[in-house]
């Protein structure tokens, strides 16, 4: 095996180890020592490939998020009909939130606790999927498929209807703050694809001109 292939393999082992730790314990658990131990590498190998913990965390979050953002942009561009594009993009986005709800909830908690990588990622949201949604909402308004209004307000309405309950009920169920019977009864409504689609259609009907 060539030196370049070996370097690539060890770099990827470190990243896979970091993703495994982050999904189980959150970003704050990503110490250099923990990642190196999980990857069966020494500390020098980590420094050789990533330099600092901060650089590693930034790349890890991007590796986790970038494929989803690429897919969302592809979905958003597949149809000239802005409302249809918005609908498909929202469904794709919420499906991702459902599938990654544990990691997303931990990411928000880590950012609140001062974790730099998580904070930097959240502060870059204005150039990520919210910008994509705002563009689709603006196009749908111009086509008179949605009522007039601030696109940011309409995006907040859609996200609070679809994505926010996924994270809220995940946190409530995990923390035990809600009555177990209530959490168990309502949680499926937040993650069932058919019910998510029904809520999206209700919301879009409410935003119709």
What's the whole-number mean pLDDT along residues 67-78? 94
Nearest Cα to 41, choosing from 14, 12, 7, 4?
14
Q: What's the confidence (pLDDT) of residue 92?
A: 97
d(CA 137, CA 154): 8
- For the segment 118-143, what is each residue's pLDDT rounded down to a tens digit? 999 999 999 999 999 999 999 999 99
- Tell me what pLDDT residue 186 has: 82
Dihedral of alpha carbons 23, 24, 30, 32, sign: negative
Identify whether the C-beta of residue 135 lies closer than 8 Å to the C-beta of residue 155: no
**Token reading at 4:** 């370049």
pTM summary value: 0.90
d(CA 104, CA 5): 33
Sheet strands (E) in the chain:
none
**Residue 183 to residue 185: CA distance in whole angstroms:** 5
Mean pLDDT of 33-44: 95
Q: Interhelix angle for 43-50 vs 3-25, to 10°?
A: 100
Determine the pLDDT at residue 52: 97
Assess whether pLDDT exceeds 90 at residue 185: no
Separation in Å, CA 69 to CA 22, 65, 66, 76, 148: 20, 6, 5, 10, 27
Residue with tokens 């970003």: 27
- Integer Cα distance of 155 and 89 in angstroms: 12
Measure the CA–CA gap between 27 and 7, rounded to whole angstroms. Answer: 24
Model pLDDT, residue 82: 93
């Amino acid at each position: 095996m060539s030196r370049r292939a070996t370097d690539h393999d060890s770099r990827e082992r470190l990243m896979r180890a970091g993703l495994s730790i982050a999904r189980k314990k959150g970003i704050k658990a990503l110490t250099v020592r923990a990642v190196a131990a999980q990857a069966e590498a020494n500390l020098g190998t980590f420094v050789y490939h990533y330099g600092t913990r901060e650089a590693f965390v930034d790349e890890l979050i991007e590796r986790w998020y970038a494929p989803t953002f690429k897919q969302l942009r592809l979905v958003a561009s597949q149809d000239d009909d802005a409302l249809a594009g918005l609908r498909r993009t929202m469904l794709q986005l919420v499906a991702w939130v459902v599938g990654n709800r544990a990691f997303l909830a931990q990411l928000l908690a880590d950012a609140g606790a001062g974790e730099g990588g998580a904070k930097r990622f959240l502060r870059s949201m204005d150039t990520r999927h919210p910008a994509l949604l705002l563009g689709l909402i603006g196009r749908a308004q111009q086509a008179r498929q949605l009522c007039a209004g601030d696109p940011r307000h309409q995006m907040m309405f859609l996200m609070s209807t679809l994505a926010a309950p996924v994270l809220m009920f995940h946190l409530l169920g995990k923390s035990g703050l809600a009555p177990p019977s209530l959490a168990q009864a309502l949680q499926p409504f937040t993650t069932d694809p058919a019910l998510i689609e029904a809520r999206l259609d209700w919301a879009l009907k409410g935003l119709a001109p």
